[in-house]
Amino acid sequence: AAPNDEGRIVMKRFDASTATEKELDDILRRPAQKTNDIMGIVGPIVSDVRARGDQALLDFAAKFDKATTLKSPVLKAPYAPELMALDEETIAAIDISFENIRKFHAAQKEDKPTVVETMPGVKCSRFVRPIERVGCYIPGGTAVLPSTALMLGVPALVAGCKKIVFASPPRPDGTCTPEIVYVAHKVGAECIVLAGGAQAVAALAYGTESVPKVDKILGPGNQFVTAGKMLVSNDTSAGVSIDMPAGPSEVLVIADSDANPAFVASDLLSQAEHGVDSQVILVAVDLTEEQLKRIEDEVHDQAVKLPRVEIVKGAIAHSVTLQAKTIEEAVRLSNVYAPEHLILQVRDAAKVVDMVEHAGSIFVGAWTPESVGDYSAGVNHSLPTYGYARQYSGVNLGTYVKHVTSSELTEEGLRNVGAAVMRLAHVEQLEAHRRAVEIRLEHADRK
């Protein structure tokens, strides 16, 4: 590790080229999550909402969100204009982002069904149907996040989900953030559930007197939200699915000697300011001591000027700089970490993309700060964290649809495939299955 001057906001340094696999594993480990403790808090909240419905939501709103005067836990469309009164600049920013997100997700539509004749007379098809009812959770405890409302609501609109329900913690005066109301209005959300945490998740999963039950719950949130989503998705009586497991936000920046130190530092910090549990990793490709120092100076100098400097300090305390010799080695480290966000500030950045195996979303080249993807470029910002980029995609149009398959056989088709079906049914000793084919073939032979 590098000398850690008193009071300096600096990430610990490691030389990746001399570290063993075991050491790298330790260096790249995310801070542990305490799932079991949280489940003990969340379980009773979920049960209470199932038992007492709206009244439980109102009680939790008073307890956790200080919304003691809330009369109803649901704000229904059409939303009164005064509830979404915003200045023109904010409206324009939301409208531009809405349109870019809409365009990018609309392009992901699968217009035509897949149809294959596997044998003469045996036709197999696969086609798309939207998930009917979706619940979008928009965090609201510590920050106002209309961007999350856009990222979850716009693809639901594009996918053709019939019922879009938003949920977000109420403000202490019982209202909803006007930016979120405006997005709800734009995407056609039929209501906003004024609840946060596990109680909002429970209401969406099971429904209450005034909250409609949904088929799928999406969206990030704190550990109570995440634990609530895990709990309800494991309960078959809820009949609800979730988008993906979520953890604290993270970024990995790969920078070489072409990178502008100020740009690199600003990207590291824009993730570090999310929360003390966020993690940021810099992979420096063949940088000299002086070049590395310049980035570290920028991190410190920019950090101390940020309003959220205390949060940044917390995040930087468990963040690291890894020194790699080559770009290949740097990308290998990134693939091991599987970051939610990967930023490439290197020569020929576009070519490096081909080497990336695991990442939620990639930001390519000097002119692409992560913030453009967080808000307005068009890509989704709801992404797999905690290494889940190995097996999960970020939210996309596919998150809001499911595929149905169909098969359609002619008499000739059944003659062609029937013997194989009957044999396998016989092997599995499922006589009724075998007879379902035989009965038809006998009938055809008698004609």
- Residues annotated as part of the active site: 340-341
Closest CA to 337 of 360, 310, 303: 360
State the Cα angle at 102 between 181 and 108, rounded to 5°. Answer: 140
What is the secondary structure of 293-355 as a DSSP string?
HHHHHHHHHHHHTSTTHHHHHHHHHT-EEEEESSHHHHHHHHHHH--SEEEEESTTHHHHGGG
Instruction: Give the count of beta carbons closer than 10 Å to the beta carbon of residue 204.
Output: 34
Residues 6 or more apart in contact with residue 392 via CB below 8 angstroms = 244, 245, 384
Q: How far is the CB of 138 from ligand NAD (least distance, A)?
A: 7
Q: How far is the CB of 150 from ligand NAD (least distance, A)?
A: 11
Q: Does 142 interact with ligand NAD (rule: CB under 6 A)?
A: yes
Residue 279 phi, psi dihedral angles, 5° rounding: -130, 135
Q: Does 216 interact with ligand NAD (rule: CB under 6 A)?
A: no
Q: How far is the CB of 270 from ligand NAD (least distance, A)?
A: 13
Q: Is 25 in a helix, a strand, or coil? A: helix
Q: Does 140 interact with ligand NAD (rule: CB under 6 A)?
A: yes
Q: What binding mask, one character per residue, do residues 294-323 give for ligand NAD by CB under 6 A, x or -?
A: ------------------------------
Question: Interacting stretch for ligand NAD, rule CB under 6 A, among 24-32, 246-254, 290-298, 416-424?
Answer: 246-254
What is the rounded CA–CA span in Å between residue 425 and residue 180?
55
Q: Does 224 interact with ligand NAD (rule: CB under 6 A)?
A: yes
Q: Is 216 in a helix, a strand, or coil? A: strand
Question: Interacting stretch for ligand NAD, rule CB under 6 A, among 93-101, 171-179, 219-227, 346-354?
Answer: 219-227
Under 8 Å between Cβ of 192 and 75: yes
Q: Does 222 interact with ligand NAD (rule: CB under 6 A)?
A: yes
Per-residue burial over 304-330, b if 16 or more Cβ lie within 10 Å, else e, is eeeebbebbebbbebbbbbbbeebebb
Q: How far is the CB of 394 from ligand NAD (least distance, A)?
A: 9
Report the run of H or E that residue 373 belongs to, with start and end: helix 370-375
Q: What binding mask, one character per residue, do residues 261-290 give for ligand NAD by CB under 6 A, x or -?
A: -------------xx---------------
Question: Interacting stretch for ligand NAD, rule CB under 6 A, among 2-10, 22-30, 221-229, 348-356?
Answer: 221-229
Q: How many residues form the binding site for ligand NAD (CB under 6 A)?
A: 26
Binding to ligand NAD (CB under 6 A) within 374-393 occurs at: 381-382, 385
What is the rounded CA–CA span in Å between residue 268 and residue 259?
13
Residue holding tokens 């050491």? Answer: 23
Q: How far is the CB of 121 from ligand NAD (least distance, A)?
A: 49
Residues 6 or more apart in contact with residue 313 via CB below 8 angstroms = 9, 303
Q: Does 230 interact with ligand NAD (rule: CB under 6 A)?
A: no
For residues 225 and 349, which CB has a smaller minimum distance to ligand NAD in the complex? 225
Question: Interacting stretch for ligand NAD, rule CB under 6 A, among 138-146, 182-190, 291-299, 327-335?
Answer: 138-146
Q: Does 169 interact with ligand NAD (rule: CB under 6 A)?
A: yes
Question: Interacting stretch for ligand NAD, rule CB under 6 A, among 106-114, 175-183, 184-192, 241-249?
Answer: 241-249
Q: How far is the CB of 148 from ligand NAD (least distance, A)?
A: 5
Residues 6 or more apart in contact with residue 403 via CB below 8 angstroms = 126, 127, 128, 129
Question: Interacting stretch for ligand NAD, rule CB under 6 A, among 112-120, 218-226, 349-357, 409-417?
Answer: 218-226
For residues 143 and 424, which CB has a smaller minimum distance to ligand NAD in the complex? 143
Q: Does 228 interact with ligand NAD (rule: CB under 6 A)?
A: no
What is the rounded CA–CA span in Å between residue 196 and residue 219?
12
What is the rounded CA–CA span in Å between residue 53 and residue 300?
49
Q: Does 41 interact with ligand NAD (rule: CB under 6 A)?
A: yes
What is the rounded CA–CA span in Å between residue 273 and residue 371?
12
Interacting residues with ligand NAD (CB under 6 A): 41, 64-65, 139-143, 145, 148, 169, 196-197, 220-222, 224-225, 246, 248-249, 274-275, 381-382, 385
